[in-house]
Structure 1
């Protein structure tokens, strides 16, 4: 129990040290992203992401409770005048009123008389209390635009919009305070029309309340003010009573007809009765446009202002009657908690995963999960931080992967430098030590009056073996990483595997001075067929070449009096096979390990695990040895 506690303490201490080192950088990244968000630096990116996900929502149906009569360029040509005269508007409103709509909204400024018919227009408003006209409330340096004189203030709705810093409209102003009278306020045209329509459905705004709430019997629907602190909006105007516009996801949210079509009788009275009718300008020459990025339209900067009014009316009506969700955000504390969680998740990839590719893959998958979560939340009426969460996830995830790539490369370069240095030292030791001594011994023996020829032959053989080893070490010392060294030859691993194995056989079987038992072989059968090596890396192809070299070298070293050699490299029953068979005098098979290194058997066993195959060394009948590697 004591040892177990000590072990856990050691593990915990190691984890704390690791998180202190790697986690510190990740926390700095999270902190920088939070600071950038608080200062408004991420606001444009968040707005772009918001608009993109809004446009990706499923297409919604047209709201048939609202009709827009738009005066287009052809209508202006037919009228032969612009602005539209008061008499034309008065006649249009009178015609609409006969069909008993719930409300009529005139989204055309009429602060000054236009042509004849001003008195007729004022009389129409007086006769129809459900008819409303726009003005623009003075704000700051904007002096505003008055409503027509003679129209009751209760029939006026402002058209002020609140575009964001990038020029796009995402919020709908419902109520603005009256700077001259703190006990009164101005209502938006969209609010006036929605309120009037909902009254016909039995809903009325709750009086003496700071929150907009529609009540019908025991049912009440709250439309909360978008005034809570959020990183989505930092230093923007939050005055008045405003909501995030939950646009209907279609370019034209309601039916739109031209003035000519309406006058031609293409709108039946039942299509107006009990509904909201908006009159506005749709002529492109008038340029009554609002820039909207959250609606799927070809030109976001030329979205019709009257359609924005229709969106505002539709949103309030649909929220009260159809439970269509409003858009809202989390409390700012939860937003930053969400960001920190995704930043820590990115850090955890670097701690739990060791492969840079695994980290990148996990980061990519979780980024997709994050986008899906934000999209689903948006469908439910919640906008949660996407961009800052994605930034901390990617930087802490992909950033760690990049660091691991760099670390692995540094480790490889360090190991290669150590290897080159070690091989160089071994080369120098052999060249300056045993070879020089052998040369001296051979000279001295030859200088004897009666030299021992047998000893001289053995010394010359040893000298040749050492020089062969010296040449191979020299090649290894100067080879580039990834090349295959077979005997004294360097082979490019980019060749197909069957060509590489053919080269290995050719080079190895020519080394009869190094392997004396090759000299007794009278019959060779070498069958090498093409492999599907597309799934093999260069390192794996090199390992297979070394396996074949080792198997052939074992024949040359241990197959006493062998006269036949069979080499097969190819496919057998959907398996890839490398097999070397001899008929030398049978020796007892042992699993020999090289002291201080990896022996041939151990190398083959590691290779079979790497390839998911099977290595086998067995006796050949009646004599000899079979050495083979099989993999899928």
Structure 2
């Protein structure tokens, strides 16, 4: 049983080495070690940058809180009358949707309002009876209430979507009072998804969980048409490639800012359907948005920053921009100045304005131009790895290493072109690292195995034949080991026999040491002739020589070689006679057959 296991089950072969590396590659593809994931992300980014920029629709513009605005208006945060003024102007200009990639979670710090309230309190304490004074203070308080002014502008516009963000780290919310957390949650609950569950089991599915929201003041939320979170979650290398279209908080599901803006644009609520395996689909405006099972959407970036029109906040509020650029547009207001910390890394650039990420998402949906990585595609990629690994495991042991290398390079290039077709034409992200590494691993594994085993086989051949054939024949056997059959075979060949006639009489006349020198001299000369014609020395039998022609390497003219060997032996014997005569050695005759 042990011998059977050793010789059949556990015996290493080139094919089994290839399958072993295929399985290892498949395991890596499933567990996704970080260094391989980073390779895939880097290649994804390279593909993104290598293609031509995609022209966005003329539907989205950005109003930037940039360095110019900070220089003219002052440091952030500004009085909320400035935000109200912007909303009034954009509404006047005919903007269809106004979205804010900023949040107003605290009351505006207004020194005038504080002074007016303090004055009212003092007058009340002094029991001053002056209706005109009270009326004036009330009017002054109203004018100084910048939060009220902003809420009024939001309400009057009827097209404002506010942004907020979720706390996804438990430690970040420990300091926030429970009452504040409840208030913020109540301020966003009206913007939650209308969810359809396909079954009772679907209600148990878990998604990315947020612990609390940092929402806008209630006065703003009540005035706005809705709210959406502007969180983005980069991959481990810090690059934003995906956007979560669903975040769970307190058993409710919420959409991002981009979808809430599109809700207003289409005048249609986004619909979320959840099944047992996760998100089945998200629909808005008749468009189904492709996501993975967790609700993440791949962002099909249109290009570098400022692919979408940017207008400085200060230029807009000072009426320096043509109003027509905002008519019927989706306007995103957000920070692009370096000091505002709303800059992200994307496949195109390490410094990319956060508001423009939302613009890309919106344009993807409006154009129905998505990059996808379908859930079933993982199985497809696993099959590719198995097929490529098995194919190369079968073929590589049967071809020379150089041809195997060329074949591997051809397959890798073909796969790169296939990947390019999937990415640019079908808009599908095909994993390239694991299949290519499968080809590389299998090739290296089999080539190393063959090198080790072939070197061992070469040593075996050299040890077995170097005494019997010429170095040239040994090299031929090493170059073409398939010509050698150590187990024996039936074939036609020529055998040459040669011996010294009357050798017994000669051996009786010579002392032992002279006899040995004499035989060495004779046998060496005759053996060299055998090797000259690439014959194989089979054995010495005392004074006799047995040589073979036509084995172990095939020789079509083996009979001619043997005849030439016999003739040369006779000529060589004549030369030996002349030398031996001078040395006093005996003269001999040989027989050849």
TM-score of Structure 1 vs Structure 2, range by shorter chain: 0.5 to 0.7
Superposition RMSD in Å: 3.9
Cα 1:83/1:310, change in 2 over 3 Å? same
Structure 1 residues 50-89: aligned runs within 5 Å: 50-89=44-83
Q: Is 1:340 aligned with 2:386?
A: yes
Cα 1:473/1:340, change in 2 over 3 Å? closer
The structure showing larger relative contact order (alpha-carbon pairs under 8 Å, at least 6 residues apart) is 2
CA-to-aligned-CA distance 1:37-59 (integer Å, 9 cap, x gap): 33231433333332222222222
Specify which structure has the higher proportion of helix.
Answer: 2
Cα distance between partner residues in 2 of 1:396 and 1:208: 43
Q: Is 1:350 aligned with 2:404?
A: no
CA-to-aligned-CA distance 1:566-600 (integer Å, 9 cap, x gap): xxxxxxxxxxxxxxxxxxxxxxxx9973139999x
Secondary structure of 1:74's partner? Answer: helix
- Among 323, 332, 345, the alignment partner of 1:269 is 323
Q: Which residue of 1 aligns with 2:31?
A: 39
Q: Which residue of 2 aligns with 1:212?
A: 282
Number of residue pairs the alignment of both structures matches: 411
* Maintained 8 Å contact 2:18/2:445: no
Q: Which residue of 1 aligns with 2:334?
A: 280
* Maintained 8 Å contact 2:408/2:443: yes
Q: Which residue of 2 aligns with 1:223?
A: 289
- The alignment's TM-score, normalised by the length of structure 2, stands at 0.61
Cα 1:287/1:138, change in 2 over 3 Å? closer
* Maintained 8 Å contact 1:103/1:277: yes
Q: Which residue of 1 aligns with 2:217?
A: 148
Cα distance between partner residues in 2 of 1:384 and 1:598: 67
Structure 1 residue 464: deviation in Å?
11
Q: Is 1:387 aligned with 2:441?
A: no
* Maintained 8 Å contact 2:530/2:565: no
- Among 314, 323, 347, the alignment partner of 2:363 is 314
Cα distance between partner residues in 1 of 2:388 and 2:296: 31
Q: Is 1:127 aligned with 2:127?
A: no
Structure 1 residue 359: deviation in Å?
0.4
Q: Which residue of 2 aligns with 1:196?
A: 264
Q: Is 1:255 aligned with 2:309?
A: yes
Cα 1:397/1:198, change in 2 over 3 Å? farther
* Maintained 8 Å contact 1:356/1:402: no
Secondary structure of 2:98's partner? Answer: strand
Q: Which residue of 2 aligns with 1:364?
A: 409
Structure 1 residue 471: deviation in Å?
12
Cα distance between partner residues in 1 of 2:436 and 2:273: 43
Q: Which residue of 1 aligns with 2:240?
A: 169
Cα 1:265/1:346, change in 2 over 3 Å? farther
Cα 1:131/1:317, change in 2 over 3 Å? same
Cα distance between partner residues in 2 of 1:266 and 1:469: 105
Structure 1 residue 333: deviation in Å?
2.9
* Maintained 8 Å contact 1:109/1:147: yes
Deviates more, 1:414-423 or 1:392-401: 414-423
Cα distance between partner residues in 2 of 1:377 and 1:99: 42
* Maintained 8 Å contact 1:68/1:254: yes
Structure 1 residue 387: deviation in Å?
1.4
Cα 1:56/1:386, change in 2 over 3 Å? same
Cα 1:408/1:245, change in 2 over 3 Å? same
* Maintained 8 Å contact 2:271/2:282: yes
Cα distance between partner residues in 2 of 1:245 and 1:27: 37
Structure 1 residues 430-445: aligned runs within 5 Å: none
* Maintained 8 Å contact 1:329/1:384: no
